[in-house]
Structure 1
Amino acid sequence: MRAFAVPEGSTALSEMEFPTPTPQGTEVLLRVSRSGVCHTDTHLRAGYYDLGRRGKLRLTDRGVPYPLTMGHEVVGVVEAAGPDVEGVALGSTRLVYPWIGCGECAACLAGRENACPAGRNLGVARPGGYADRILVPHPRYLLDIGDLDPDWAATMACSGLTAYGAVSKVLPLPPDSPVVVIGVGGVGLTAVATLHALGHRAVCAVDREEGNLAVARGLGASTSVAVTGDDLAGDVRKAVGAPVVAVIDFVNNEQTASAAFEVLAKGGTMVQVGLFGGELTIPTALLALKMVTVQGSFVGTLSELHEVLELAEQGRIPRIPVIAGELDLEGVTDSLDRLAAGGVAGRIVLSSA
């Protein structure tokens, strides 16, 4: 099968041929029809995460194999199935849940496979959707998208799920209590739309790009802040005009994380989602005095993805902009370059020929 993979020690993708897997046991093979492009893949291509003064967290040290076929927002057509597979018809179209755990630890047994310490995520630890085929270990990870547009449905495996998982960590709140969303690219826009869909009226969108902010206002943001200077916290306070009960940070670098902590009201919550890197230094006494909650959020559970699809099918989540591209070497490379440069208002979704 054909894949667009990152070789070890390189950031340049290559077109590679691998044996097409034959499904065994409960495995299901799908022909990839859509593959969304996520900013996480820019870090996977680079081969590390920035840990500030601690240096770089190299993905090979975490067991990520190279050459790496990335891509974790996948819609495909079921092409073959192992002898133990039930309930999935050949030729059916399915969305893939990629955040797969070991299946044996406490987190997995509690239905929180995304928190598994030995995760086997598709597009990270296993080959993903920047290819013409993808092998999924069990049919429970395949979701029926019904009449949803497959371009939009593909984004729900990460963009939609990550936004929903983060929003769920701050709600319920009084509808007019200010919530700040920092970084309104594809995932942040989905968070704004999700907050609005769930009845929250006071949402402040923060971004460097006015185009992203305009889209965010159209999706339900009640106010917005363009990042132009060094006093992000002051700019947010001025725009919101009230203490902030929650901040969801889809950038999560030193500037945004520090600002998130500074604008929180007493008892507030900051949810850190982005992987841009760096470190956060805060006065320990203020953690106690302000009774602040600082929480990391990584994608979401399989049950939460079902909830996201249900909201979409009910028409309760506005569709974010989807930018079409070709699932080929040039399409994957150009899309990752665009994301790394910033300013993509929406989600890029690649389609196979």
Structure 2
Amino acid sequence: MHAYGVLPDDQTIHDLEIPTPEPEGRQVLLRVTRVGACHTDTHLREGGYDLGSRGKMSMKDRGFQYPIVMGHETVGEVVEVGDAVETVRAGDVRLVYPWIGCGKCRECREGNDNRCAAGQNLGIARHGGYAEYILVPDEKYLVDIADLDPSWAATLACSGLTAYAAVDRVLPLDADEPVVLFGAGGLGLTAIAILRYRGHQNVCAVDVSERNLTLAEEMGATSTVKSGDNVAGAIVDALGGPASAVIDFVNNGATATAAFDILNKGGVMVQVGLFGGEVTIPTALLALRMIRIEGSFVGTLGQLRELVDIARRGKLPHIPIIERPLSVEEVARALDDLTAGGVSGRIVLTA
């Protein structure tokens, strides 16, 4: 089968010919029909993550096997199943939960695959959706999307789920307490929709793009701030005071610093993005203001099922979707566009 992946120390997207997997046991093989392009894929193409003064976290040094076939927002049609599969059959269309754990540790046993220290995530540790076919290791990781738009449904596996899980970390709050979102791309727009669905009435979006801020207002943001000099002061002015919570979908040194500075006493900052860098925080203020800092990485299978159910009931507004054909050229272009910034919504590649 054709697959589009990267080789070590090479940011070129290669058109690879690799064997088509044959499912066994509870495994399921799907023909890829939709796959979203994510900022995580740009870091994988670059070979790792920026850790500020600690250097770079290298995928190669961590033992990841190349080629890496990326793509973790995948909808596909079941074409073949293992002999122990009971819940799906050929022809079924399913969304893939890609954040797969070892299946043995405490976190996995409790349903928290995304917290597994030995994760086998599709599109990272295992071949993902930038390919003709994807092998899912267990039928339980397949989610029925029914009549949802498959391109939008694909984005729920990462941008949707990531936003949903991050919102879970800041709510409940009183409906009028200010929640600030850094980044109004696909994740930020989804978070706005989820916050409004859950009854929250005070949401401030912060972004470098006027277009993204306009979309944020259309999705229900009650205030917006364009990033620039003294962004923390501009946010506090827009809110009329400090924030109760921040969800940082950028998470670089500048946004993390601003997040800390704008929080009220007892506030929480949830750091989600992987843009990289570092932040220096006064330890005395951390204690005196009782600030809580949390990292959030995607979400659980249970949370994805909850999110898809909300979407199927028509309770979640669509984020903008940019469809392009799935090919080696378009995978490369999508990642180039994400690296350059300014993509409004989410790019989804269609087969």
| Structure 1 alignment gaps of length 5 or more | none
8 Å contact from structure 1 (residues 192, 216) kept in 2: yes
Equivalent positions of 1:255-266 (< 5 A) are: 255-266=254-265
In the alignment, is residue 295 of structure 1 matched against residue 325 of structure 2?
Answer: no
Q: CA deviation at 1:63?
A: 2.4
Give the Cα separation in 1 of the matches to 2:228 and 2:220: 22
8 Å contact from structure 1 (residues 101, 113) kept in 2: yes
Q: CA deviation at 1:64?
A: 1.9
8 Å contact from structure 1 (residues 69, 124) kept in 2: yes
Identity of aligned residues (%): 58
Q: CA deviation at 1:99?
A: 0.1
Q: Cα deviations across residues 233-258 of structure 1 (Å, max 9, x unaligned)?
A: 11111111122000000000000000
Give the Cα separation in 2 of the matches to 1:33 and 1:64: 26
Give the Cα separation in 2 of the matches to 1:26 and 1:299: 24
2:192 is paired with a residue of what secondary structure?
Answer: helix
Question: In the alignment, what sits opposite 2:277?
Answer: 278
Question: In the alignment, what sits opposite 2:106?
Answer: 106
Question: In the alignment, what sits opposite 1:325?
Answer: 324
- Code of the aligned partner of 1:226: K
In the alignment, is residue 224 of structure 1 matched against residue 239 of structure 2?
Answer: no
In the alignment, is residue 213 of structure 1 matched against residue 213 of structure 2?
Answer: yes
Equivalent positions of 1:1-353 (< 5 A) are: 1-229=1-229, 231-352=230-351
8 Å contact from structure 1 (residues 63, 125) kept in 2: no
Stretches of 4+ aligned residues off by more than 4 angstroms: none
Q: CA deviation at 1:23?
A: 0.6
Q: CA deviation at 1:158?
A: 0.2
| Structure 2 alignment gaps of length 5 or more | none
Give the Cα separation in 1 of the matches to 2:57 and 2:288: 32
Q: CA deviation at 1:62?
A: 2.2
Q: CA deviation at 1:324?
A: 0.5
Give the Cα separation in 2 of the matches to 1:15 and 1:226: 39
Q: How many residues are matched?
A: 351
8 Å contact from structure 1 (residues 44, 59) kept in 2: yes
- Code of the aligned partner of 2:173: L
8 Å contact from structure 2 (residues 80, 89) kept in 1: no
Give the Cα separation in 2 of the matches to 1:110 and 1:347: 31
- Code of the aligned partner of 1:63: G
TM-score, scaled relative to structure 1: 0.99
Give the Cα separation in 1 of the matches to 2:309 and 2:112: 19
1:201 is paired with a residue of what secondary structure?
Answer: coil
8 Å contact from structure 1 (residues 37, 348) kept in 2: yes
Q: CA deviation at 1:48?
A: 1.1
1:75 is paired with a residue of what secondary structure?
Answer: strand
Give the Cα separation in 2 of the matches to 1:64 and 1:345: 31
